[in-house]
Amino acid sequence: MNWVLSNLDTIWDDTVAHLAVAVPPIIISFLLSIPIGWLVVRLRRPGASRVSSGLGGAVVTVAGLLYAVPSLPLFIALPGIIGTGLQDPVNVVVGLTLYGLALMVRSTVDGLGSVDAATTSAATAMGYSGAQRFFRVDLPLAGPVLLAGLRVVAVSTISLTTVGAVLGIQSLGSLFTDGIGRNIPEEIVSGIVTVLVLAIVIDGLLVLLGRAVMPWTRKDTTAKRRARRVLQAAEATS
Amino acid sequence: MIIGQAFAWVVDPTNYGGPDGVQARLWEHVWISLLAVLIASVIAVPIGYLIGHTGRARGLAIALSGGIRALPTLGVLTLFGLLLGVNLQAPLLALVILAVPSVLAGAYAGIESVEPVTVDAARAQGMTGWQILTRVEIPLGLPLLIGGIRAAVLQVVATATLAAYVGAGGLGGYVFLGLKTQDYAMMLGASILVIALAIAFEIVFSVLQRAVVPAGVAERSTRRHPGSRERTRTPLPEGTPS
């Protein structure tokens, strides 16, 4: 505990550096996944040609394979591809954005694809244009699925950012590399705890943000909770 | 071109022989990864089955598999390295700990995904609890279990690269040697090998995952025609980047 108290400024500096690397990929991958997900759903809609739905499927498969790529090798390979320096934080930002996309595209495809066809037909019948329908009907209905995906992206991005430290890119991971180098277990533990706290805080903020922009889901969850309680009661008495 | 040099390093036969050769390191990497997942499976599969079968401590399984995403692997590795000394046991123990939640989630989700109607039918036929578990729930849940093991293998192959930072061998050794000696071609070459290894595992396990779908289930799903009820979504233990 002594180490933590006398090194609060180091932890703070590393936390700020960590957020500077971790937050942009979360936002960028979320924003990019919406048009990509829209495109995939459009390519694979019923009645689309074989080539078109195959192309849509290929995007999802490539995105799936991407997260099989381990992070450290990716952070090392990216400078060779995009021409940045090995210790440039941009590598980590780009790498984490790719991972974010790999997870997020799948969520947007699932979310947008789960919108009931009858609902979209009704919207069209009411005179919504394509864009209006997308932003006012499809996107809000896909919202809870997008939020679930975004939460996974946020938490894994915050944790993965630490890996860059072994290449010398500052983040909370620097507490791990420094801690093992100078033989201070407290430093490593404080790094782990800070990462976990950061993940929980960001996750909580996303949940609150979700409630603010999708007020109707609040009602939904209480309904769901009630349903679950009813089921459990039935299970217990049977 | 640096990528060309890296590929040249990968195919250079002089890098292959000997105890520090690519072959030995690749084998070491595969061996420690599979051993870690095997140990994790021995621990996690029975517990996952118990949770799935009894329906107790469900929250624990879900919290564990969600929490693992937030846990920084590098932190776990360095902490174990520091506390247990730089040898093979420390990284192995860290890898096992990181693999357990994925396997546990797979085992648990596999059992959980079996429809209650199916379990009731088995019970109505006079099967005992043990028979239901071994003849109904385990075979039907096998694809999800393999999915969990697949996620664990990916996580461990990736983390084993980092483990070289605390003295474990494997392909990560080249990465950190290259970092120290400013040999980017070697770092990149080793990275290409790790990526290829991870993707090879991913392909093998996705084939395996399909292969273990029981014949009756596979037949039913191919016979499904348009308009029939969409298959219920099971909580598939997805891999997360590692």
Partner-chain residue, chosen from B70, B74, B201, that has the shortest CB–CB distance to A196: B70
- Across the interface, whether the CB atoms of B195 and A159 are under 8 A apart is answered no
Q: What is the pLDDT of residues B30-82, one digit of tens each?
A: 989 999 999 999 999 999 998 888 888 778 877 777 777 888 989 998 898 88
**What is the residue range of B201's domain?**
20-216
B56 belongs to a structural domain: yes
B233 belongs to a structural domain: no
For A106, which residue in chain B has the nearest alpha carbon? B238
Among B residues 220-239, those touching chain A with beta carbons less than 8 Å apart: 238-239
Q: Print burial letters for A151-178: b (CB count within 10 Å at least 16), e (below 16).
A: bbbbbbbbbbbbbbbbbebbbbbbbbbb
Please, which pLDDT band fits residue B173 given cuts at 50, 70 and 90? confident
B136 belongs to a structural domain: yes
ipTM (interface pTM): 0.82
Looking only at Cα atoms, what is the longest distance across chain B?
Answer: 69
The CB-based long-range contact list for B2-7 (8 Å cut-off, 24+ gap) reads B2/A80, B2/B184, B2/B185, B2/B188, B3/A80, B3/A81, B3/B188, B5/B185, B5/B188, B6/A80, B6/B184, B6/B185, B6/B186, B6/B188, B6/B189, B6/B191, B6/B192, B7/B189, B7/B192
- Kindly report the nearest CA distance between residue A96 and chain B, in angstroms: 9
Checking if the pLDDT of B236 tops 80, the result is no
Contact B80, B36 (CB under 8 A): no
- Domain total for chain A? 1
**Other beta carbons less than 10 A from residue B92's beta carbon:** 19
Q: What is the pLDDT of residues A69-123, one digit of tens each?
A: 888 989 988 888 888 888 888 989 999 999 999 889 888 988 888 888 888 889 9
Average of per-residue pLDDT across B174-203: 88
DSSP state of A166: G
In sequence order, the 6+-apart residues with CB closer than 8 A to the CB of A71 are A95, A99, A160, A163, B158, B241, B242
Predicted local distance difference test score (pLDDT) of residue B227? 39
Please, which pLDDT band fits residue A220 given cuts at 50, 70 and 90? low
- Domain total for chain B? 1
- Kindly report the nearest CA distance between residue B72 and chain A, in angstroms: 5
Measured between alpha carbons, how far is residue A114 from residues A223, B20, B138, B197, B233 in Å? 20, 52, 30, 35, 12
Predicted local distance difference test score (pLDDT) of residue A17? 93
**Cα distance between residue A64 and residue A59, in whole Å:** 9
**pTM attached to this predicted model:** 0.84
For B202, which residue in chain A has the nearest alpha carbon? A68
DSSP SS3 for A16: helix
Residue B165: closest CA among B82, B78, B79 = B78
Residue A66: closest CA among A39, A93, A97, A90 = A97
**What is the residue range of A165's domain?**
2-237
Q: Domain holding A170: CATH number? A: 1.10.3720.10
Residue B33: closest CA among B152, B148, B145, B142 = B152
Q: Domain holding B29: CATH number? A: 1.10.3720.10
Q: Which of A176, A183, A232 to mutate to test the interface with B (most CBs of B within 10 A)?
A: A176
Measured between alpha carbons, how far is residue B65 from residues A22, A145, A155, B54, B156 in Å? 22, 19, 12, 19, 15
- Kindly report the nearest CA distance between residue B61 and chain A, in angstroms: 17
Checking if the pLDDT of B223 tops 70, the result is no
Residue A67: closest CA among B68, B70, B202, B99 = B202
Contact A134, A143 (CB under 8 A): no
Measured in residues, chain A has a length of 238
| Structure tokens belonging to residue A60 | 């999802």
| Structure tokens belonging to residue A18 | 């960590």
For B4, which residue in chain A has the nearest alpha carbon? A80
**Cα distance between residue B188 and residue A78, in whole Å:** 9
B15 belongs to a structural domain: no
Contact B171, B105 (CB under 8 A): no
Predicted local distance difference test score (pLDDT) of residue A228? 61
B8 belongs to a structural domain: no
Q: What are phi and psi of A116, to 5 degrees?
A: -60, 135
